[in-house]
Structure 1
Amino acid sequence: MRLALEQAELAWQLNEVPVGAVLVDENDQLIAAAHNSPISRNDPTSHAEINVIRKAAHLLQNYRLINTTLYVTLEPCIMCVGALLHGRIKRLVYAADEPKTGAINSQIQLLEFTHNHRIEVVSGILKAECSNLLSDFFKKRRLEKKNE
């Protein structure tokens, strides 16, 4: 999760919402790392989770990411949960809940529905650090808009 947090910090430096993700194999070896980039890419699907899945699939030359674990600093949205299911990610570890668009626990419990694949979920790892990073980012953004 620390590597995902580092990715989130990189996103902040690029004025993106600070969310980071890493994908590891069954031996906890890093496959890929990524962060949010919808603003810089002009792509609303360019969430950290989607970016890391794309990188990993390209590196592994396989769209199935079997026996992998995704670490992400924020609870995934509906789109990203769908990508996790299609990619056959085995395990999801996320830090902070996303009260507005979270699709694991907050807004909708998408994984509670019947799917052809089950994902093990762990939450709350480095929750305070990841939540604080997001809060600080949005406080700074609101202050900048106020001062414009």
Structure 2
Amino acid sequence: MDDTKGLAIAFEEAQASYDEGGIPIGAALISADGKLLGRGHNMRVQLGSAIHHGETSALFNSGRLPAKAYKGSTMYTTLSPCDMCTGACLLYGISRVVIGENQNFLGGEAYLKARGVEVVVVGDEGCKALMDRFIAEKPELWNEDIGVEERVYSKEGKTAA
């Protein structure tokens, strides 16, 4: 499967999450021989789950696979993977990660590369536009997802009004 098709599946998942009121990050896991192993999207809002990100949802939806199934596989993701999703890709020996965009969030790309994973950043405008729209509409959910404290504190440590 070429990168355009793999990223298109991930984008469909991101759009589905957005349409459900969730964080629009989608992923697709494709085997070395081009078969779709799993696809998924961020479900933090929908399931009230801290661990159902796009990449982990794609892995979950892949089901139980032998280790050899991941050899030579590619994870397509609409946004640069966070540390947890980076770790999941490394844990399962995923060989390649194709990223739709990394302007809204720069995740563990350097760590993936340092561990021998091929990383391709496409710079897809559709992925960026969808994430831009979500961040503008729901900044509090975005900040929650990336672990940014929403409250502003004064020098004395009290919550600012």
Instruction: Give the drift of 1:78.
Output: 0.8
Q: Where does residue 146 of structure 1 map in the other structure? A: none
- 1:123 matched to which residue of 2? 121
Matches within 5 A, 1:1-148: 1-56=7-62, 58-60=63-65, 62=66, 65-97=70-102, 99-100=104-105, 102-104=107-109, 109-113=110-114, 115=115, 118-124=116-122, 127-141=124-138
SS of 1:92's equivalent in the other structure is: strand
Contact conserved, 2:103 with 2:128, CA < 8 A, in 1?
A: no
Output the CA distance in 2 between the equivalents of 1:82 and 1:137.
25
Larger Rg: 2
| Runs of 4+ deviating beyond 4 Å | 98-101
Alignment coverage as a number of residue pairs: 132
Residues 76, 98 of structure 1: 8 Å contact kept: no
TM-score (norm 2): 0.74
Unaligned runs of 5+ in 2: 1-6, 140-161
Q: Secondary structure at the match of 1:16?
A: coil
The percentage of counterpart residues that share the same residue type is 27
CA contact (8 A) 2:22 2:42 kept: yes
* 3-state secondary structure, aligned to 1:22: strand
- CA distance in 2: counterparts of 1:19 and 1:63, whole angstroms: 25
Measure how far apart 1:98 and its partner are: 5.1
Shift of 1:27: 2.0
After superposition, give the CA deviation of every residue in 1:48-70 in whole Å (9 maximum; x if it has no partner): 001111222x253x356222111
Partner of 2:158: none
RMSD of aligned alpha carbons? 1.8
Give the gaps of 5 or more residues in structure 1: 143-148
